[in-house]
């Protein structure tokens, strides 16, 4: 089993990353990789950006210097010293103003917005006029070239989120990422974690998870059925956020539940027993002054069975 942990949003700086890794090693907790959200490459999210535009300072393909002032050295050091790899989240859209303008001029952008994974989609969605059309070979070529320096620096794999902008976005997006990896090193096996899928993606090395779920007993009870439906629909390497998400807001928050110890343990036992891939994610409220909870803000643990490279 390979265990991976990712903190959704809240990696503060380089010292925080290294302290978290050290805590896992000191406590003899199984860990294989960390997966970092937006903050690995930028210091803000792009959810509030106006349609068809971005920010001039937004870097879509780079490293946040607060977390990674020396990315190549750090990623190599984490692998050698802690035996931990680092992966990052990717979004299917662009946030830099100049890059958006260039992509629009070349006809590389989708006309529709991202629905946010809900069904039926909530109109008009978000990231309107900024989503790349990965079905175009020239877009995949360009995107692969942008990923090259990140792979050269040592990024291990990608966590692909919010690609419901088109039925085939996740498929062609993964094609572009695999293309980048093959340019970098043919012997490396491609791996990614995706929020949705189209049948056939598993042959690329793509795993999926079933989106954000609540931390309550009803959700836990329905999880095996959801997993089987996804497998029957063409996603054999499927998992869910075992543990549950308590980040819901408004009227939804009351139904979300609380990721307490008993729910977390049962969710992990269920995932270990029946899931082809195990993704353990628990969102816990905690006192920021409580040092004992320093690594328990929003933790995701993913364990995936080793698969033969062929």
Q: Which domains does the chain have, with CATH numbers?
A: 2-304 (3.20.20.80)
176 φ, ψ to 5°? -65, -40
Q: How confident is the model at residue 74 (pLDDT cuts 50, 70, 90)?
A: very high
Q: Say whether pLDDT at 291 is over 80.
A: no
Poorest-pLDDT segment among 8-22, 152-166, 252-266: 252-266
Q: In this predicted structure, what is the pLDDT of residue 63?
A: 98
Do residues 30 and 83 lie in contact, with contact meaning Cβ atoms separated by under 8 Å? no
Q: What is the mean pLDDT of residues 85-97?
A: 94
Q: What is the pLDDT of residues 168-220, one digit of tens each?
A: 999 999 999 999 999 877 788 899 999 999 999 999 999 998 877 777 778 88
pLDDT of res. 79: 96
pLDDT attached to residue 288: 36
What is the predicted pLDDT for the residue at 253? 43
Q: How far is CA 45 from the centre of its chain?
A: 14
Average pLDDT over residues 80-85: 94
Question: If we measure between CA atoms, which residue out of 152, 160, 136 comes closest to residue 211?
Answer: 160
Q: What is the pLDDT of residues 29-73, one digit of tens each?
A: 777 888 888 999 998 889 889 888 899 999 999 999 999 999 999
pLDDT over 70 (residue 142):
yes
Cα–Cα distance for residue pair 282/294, rounded to 1 Å? 14
* Higher local confidence (pLDDT), 238 or 99: 99
What per-residue confidence (pLDDT) applies to 280?
A: 64
Q: Look at residue 283 and tell me whether its pLDDT is greater than 90.
A: no
- Residue 245: pLDDT band (50, 70, 90) is low
* pLDDT score at 281: 66
Lowest mean pLDDT, pick from 147-151, 171-175, 211-215, 293-297: 293-297
Determine the Cα angle at 35 with ends 67 and 292, to 5°: 75
- Gap between the Cα atoms of 177 and 13, Å rounded: 27
Report pLDDT for 40.
Answer: 95
Query: Could you tell me the pLDDT band of residue 244, with boundaries at 50, 70 and 90?
Result: low
Whether the pLDDT of residue 84 is over 60: the answer is yes
126 in Cβ contact with 56 (< 8 Å): no
DSSP code, position 190: P
250 pLDDT higher than 90: no
The pLDDT of residue 227: 87
């Amino acid at each position: 089993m390979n265990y991976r942990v990712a903190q959704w949003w809240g990696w503060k700086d380089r010292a925080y990353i290294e302290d978290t890794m050290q805590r896992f090693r000191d406590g003899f907790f199984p860990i294989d990789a960390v997966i970092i959200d937006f903050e690995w490459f930028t210091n803000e999210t792009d959810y509030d950006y106006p349609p068809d535009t971005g920010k001039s300072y937004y870097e879509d393909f780079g490293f946040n210097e607060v977390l990674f002032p020396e990315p190549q050295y750090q990623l190599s050091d984490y692998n050698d010293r802690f035996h931990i790899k680092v992966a990052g989240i990717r979004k299917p859209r662009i946030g830099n103003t100049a890059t958006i303008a260039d992509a629009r001029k070349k006809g590389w952008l989708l006309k529709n917005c991202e629905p946010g994974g809900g069904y039926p989609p909530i109109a008009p969605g978000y990231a309107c006029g900024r989503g790349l059309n990965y079905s175009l070979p020239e877009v995949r070529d360009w995107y692969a070239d942008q990923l090259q320096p990140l792979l050269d620096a040592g990024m291990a794999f990608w966590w692909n989120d919010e690609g419901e902008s088109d039925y085939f976005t996740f498929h062609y997006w993964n094609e572009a990422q695999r293309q980048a990896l093959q340019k970098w090193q043919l012997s490396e096996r491609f791996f990614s974690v995706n929020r949705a899928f189209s049948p056939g993606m598993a042959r690329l090395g793509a795993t999926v998870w079933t989106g954000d779920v609540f931390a309550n007993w009803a959700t836990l009870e329905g999880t095996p059925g959801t997993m089987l439906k996804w497998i029957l629909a063409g996603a054999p390497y499927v998992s869910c956020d075992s543990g549950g998400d308590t980040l819901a807001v408004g009227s939804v928050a009351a139904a979300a539940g609380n990721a307490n110890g008993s729910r977390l343990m049962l969710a992990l036992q269920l995932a270990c027993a029946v899931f082809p891939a195990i993704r353990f994610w628990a969102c816990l409220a905690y006192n920021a002054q409580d040092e004992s909870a320093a690594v328990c803000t929003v933790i995701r643990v993913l364990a995936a069975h080793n698969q033969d490279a062929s």
